[in-house]
Structure 1
Amino acid sequence: MGEELIRDIDEREFIKRLVGILGSDDKGVVVGAGKDDCAILEIGDESLVVTTDMLHRKTDFPPGMSARQIGWMAAAVNFSDIAAMGAKPIGLLAAVGYPPDMPYKEAAEISKGMRDCASFCGTSVIGGDVDIHDELTITGTAFGKSDGVQLLRRSGAKEGDLVCVTGTLGGAGAALQALLEDMNVDSEFLKALFEPIPRIAEGRKLAESGFVTSAMDTSDGLAMSLYDLAETSNVGFKIYESSLPIDERVKQIASNSSDELELALYSGGDFELLFTVNPERVKSLHGESYLTVVGEVVGYERGVSLITGNNENLAINRKGYLHMKSSGEI
């Protein structure tokens, strides 16, 4: 048997192995590598959250994106992790490798996109690095702080809690499918994919409520996120098909209900928040138009399943968007 290659290792398994090597003995590190959407560092009476993400032209930026949208996306993937923690964004570092033959105007537009996304999230780009690279590569590092609220964590879901999501599901996946199949859609249809919105305001509200028991973002797809939460909290999930807030874009391009469900469950890029709430407290949040209750937390042994309109209990597969076709995130 030959030497094990990275391409043959599942992304999450690869990350687990590297995290096992890295570790952390620093008492100021509350949450270290690989354990949540962000690392958490204790700074005096507050907590600092930090996350980083690397994007590449060939694998992460679909054809048709403008330079400004590329910059926006590079910032948004990081701020979405900050949102998932319920933290207040306080800055973004950006290290960019530019192809030497890229026009300056395009590089400037990428910077404007990062600036605009940071501004939308209530902060700014505070520094970084530039270099020459064969392929456009952008690594963002976002910072946030607890700002007096209890941070949201992936761990903490309890049997009987209700499962909720913000916004709608599958819009980015529908846009990508339309793009790849050369469907006749307008620029507004593609915005869900090209200009994802980090749910900073929603994350802050959820953290301030004190009622959320676990949370993460859905950038890798609802199904994959459910499995990640299940593993971290040692629980299972029962999701109701009839309750899923499927994006109108999905309904426009899907040929049948099975295709709609596939996009809602397994396509990534939505940047919504998936979270669990104590059932006795959910009424306090029900007035918020941005959330939908889609299921409930069950015992770990029951796995992650979907209750269909015919009351069938079907297993939800552990699949979604994975970076390891070309890159990974720790």
Structure 2
Amino acid sequence: MSKDCATLAELGEKQVVRELITRLRPNGVLLDGVGHDAGFADLALSRDEVAVLNTDRSGENLAYKLGLAGPEAVGDLAVSHAVSDVAVAGGDPYLLTVCLLLPQETTLGYAKRLMDGVESAADRWGIAIASGDTKKNASIAIVVTVMGKVKRSQRLSRSGAKAGDLLVVTGQLGTMFTAARAYQTGTEIPAFLQARLKDALVNQHPPIELGLALSRSGVARAGTDISDGLPSAIFDLCKLNRLGASLDVNDVPVAEDVRRFAKSSMEINRESLISANGDWQFLYAIPKENLERAQRIALEFGATLSTVGFFTAGLTIAARGEDGQLRHLNLLENDAFSQVENKNYFEFLASNPPLLGPVL
């Protein structure tokens, strides 16, 4: 029997760790390589630089559960999502640590392929894997900590937005949610959408390079990733900055062919598409006078920026719908600790909950 088919329980922790770390390629950042109690990184911060840190926990992603990708996608997802928060803050990702929490019946082959995905994602953004841990757990989980560095003057937090600043979104929203519902419900996907929807599930890659460029340029006053849905991100920025906001639902970027498919084949409304998480885009507060420069930067990366509203001095968070009336914006968000109506967030959104409340 191949060693890769052996379970972690059969091999034991030390052997598993040896098998995994010997697969990692050497890099010039770690002074003594891997395999020690701690990693020694050749990391020099100047007086004008600060460290940026983030830790994220993820599990097996939907693409793997649906059989659309192997364990590599699970590892890639874990790193990509941890890097997202660092990049939107302006941090150039530099190091990561990874903790694998695995059931004892997991095979060595699975663990190796998962780590291949971790290393592939790390290579994508030039990040060194500094250290990690492997422990037994009831279910598969990966905890990734990413460290980056940013010039003090270029750091971009969630605070700093001002009344009149524009709400600006990168990319398009709703594609991953549409793909998830289509595959989960067995809905037939048109040939022209198949590759795009599958890619939205398998490769959930945040716009890291664009985020770093926007931070370095100084065009934005605040930013956050849209990890729990656009409404949640807007409420987060408004609460932290003690501002209100006015969103125009019609300006939120959703691919028209994706919207038509979601509506005609699964009866999912546009409001649910723009409320979904999963596409892992960024939301910024950008002064009007900086918008044109921000758009030029986005073009350099083949990306798009969409103005979807603006911040207001009052505390009311509102949205203008297709009927043109300004209404209260309902807080729809993916919550890790609770379900709505005994449904997970995607199931909840598929029921088309109202995004817009009473008329103002």
Structure 1 Cα separation of the partners of residues 102 and 150 of structure 2: 34
- In structure 1, the partner of 2:279 is 270
Matched, 1:225 2:233: yes
In the alignment, residue 176 of structure 1 is paired with which amino acid? A
Amino acid at match of 1:50: L
Q: Is the 8 A contact 2:62 2:201 kept in 1?
A: no
- What is the CA-CA distance between 1:311 and the residue it aligns to? 1.5
Return the alpha-carbon distance in structure 2 between the equivalents of residues 216 and 188 of structure 1: 25
Is 1:118 equivalent to 2:132 in the alignment? no
How far apart are residue 58 of structure 1 and its match?
8.7
Rounded to whole Å, the distance in 2 between the matches of 1:323 and 1:158 is 30
Deviation of 1:63 after TM superposition, in Å, equals 3.4
1:101 to 85, 101, 105: 105
Tell me which of 316, 319, 322 is aligned to 2:335.
322
Q: Secondary structure at the match of 2:288?
A: coil
Say which SS state the counterpart of residue 286 (structure 1) adopts. helix
Structure 1 unaligned regions, length at least 5: 1-41
Greater alpha carbon shift after TM alignment, 103-112 vs 242-251: 242-251
Helix, strand or coil at the partner of 1:208: helix
Aligned partners of 1:218 and 1:225 also within 8 Å: yes
How far has the Cα of 1:59 moved from its partner?
Answer: 9.0
Q: 1:237 to 1:243 in 2, by over 3 A?
A: same
2:175 is aligned, of 171, 180, 190, to 171
**Equivalent residue number for residue 300 of structure 1:** 314
The residue aligned with 2:58 is: 55
Give the structure with higher Rg (CA). Answer: 2
Paired residue secondary structure (2:315) = helix
Displacement of 1:255 in angstroms is 3.2
* Residues 254, 274 of structure 2: 8 Å contact kept: no
2:213 is aligned to: 205
> For the structure 1 residues 256 and 318, does the alpha-carbon distance in structure 2 shift closer, same or farther, using more than 3 Å as the test?
farther
Q: Which residue of 1 aligns with 2:268?
A: 259
2:49 corresponds, among 46, 61, 67, to: 46
Q: One-letter code of the match for 2:282?
A: L
Equivalent residue number for residue 21 of structure 1: none
- The alignment partner of 1:226 has SS state of helix
C-alpha distance 238-256 of structure 1, shift in aligned 2 (>3 A):
farther
Find the residue that maps to 2:264 and give its secondary structure. coil
C-alpha separation between the residues in 1 aligned to 2:166 and 2:217?
Answer: 15
Shift in alpha-carbon separation, 1:317–1:193, aligned structure 2, 3 A: farther
**Contact in 2 for aligned 1:251/1:260 (Cα 8 Å):** no
Unaligned runs of 5+ in 2: 1-44, 340-360
The equivalent of 1:136 in structure 2 is 140
The corresponding residue for 1:193 is 201
Query: TM-score when scaled to structure 1?
Result: 0.79
The one-letter code matched in structure 2 to 1:67 is P
Q: Alpha-carbon deviation of 1:62? A: 4.6
From the superposition, tell whether residues 85 and 58 of structure 1 become closer, same or farther in structure 2 (CA, over 3 Å): closer
Shift of 1:291: 1.1
Instruction: Give the paired residue count.
Output: 284
1:311 and 2:324 aligned: yes
Q: In the alignment, which residue of structure 1 is the partner of 2:290?
A: 281
Q: 1:1-51 CA distances to partner (integer Å, 9 max, x unpaired)?
A: xxxxxxxxxxxxxxxxxxxxxxxxxxxxxxxxxxxxxxxxx9743110111
CA offset at residue 218 of structure 1?
A: 0.3
Identity across the alignment (%): 24
